[in-house]
């Protein structure tokens, strides 16, 4: 079981969080868009830490699960905690895929594919704009003021 509170933000909290998003962040996180490949700020990030949800701050992926998939988007082979990421069937664009969303706030993160490395053989292909990053020893973002702490 996760040590983080997965209760969704209230309507008021969500409105306040959405207010701080850029137009591109809104397009991707709220309207299930995709950023262009090879341009995201986290594609080449090599720092040790945790990638968090850009909207609600929930830890999503550890840096040690990141790998270079060659696709142009940050890719991970396992989530920080399986309870922190949900999959939703996505049939847009004439394809059947599994969309990844934040389990706490429902923001669009990317998609998961069965072509990753061991041990999971999964590739969680994410939009950089959907993510925040917290380095080891830094305080986790706490936009919902839940007091969830440090890494």
Annotated catalytic residue 125: yes
Give the other-Cβ count within 10 Å of 45's Cβ. 16
How far is 84 from 101, CA to CA, in rounded Å? 9
How many degrees, rounded to 5, is the angle at CA 68 between CA 30 and CA 148?
Answer: 50
How far is 64 from 32, CA to CA, in rounded Å? 26
How far is 126 from 68, CA to CA, in rounded Å? 12
How far is 53 from 75, CA to CA, in rounded Å? 15
Q: Report the catalytic residues.
A: 125
């Amino acid at each position: 079981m996760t040590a983080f509170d997965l209760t969704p933000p209230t309507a008021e909290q969500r409105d306040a969080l959405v207010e701080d998003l850029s137009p591109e962040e809104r397009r991707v996180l709220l309207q299930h868009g995709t950023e262009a490949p090879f341009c995201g700020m986290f594609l080449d990030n090599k720092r040790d830490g945790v990638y968090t949800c850009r909207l609600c701050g929930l830890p999503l992926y550890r840096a040690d699960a990141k790998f270079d998939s060659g696709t142009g988007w940050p890719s991970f082979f396992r989530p920080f905690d399986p309870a922190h990421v949900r999959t939703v069937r996505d049939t847009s664009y004439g394809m059947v895929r599994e969309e990844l969303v934040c389990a706490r706030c429902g923001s669009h993160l990317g998609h998961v594919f069965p072509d990753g490395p061991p041990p999971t053989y999964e590739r969680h292909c994410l939009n950089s704009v959907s993510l925040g990053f917290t380095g080891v020893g830094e305080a986790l973002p706490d936009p919902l003021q839940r007091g969830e702490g440090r890494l």
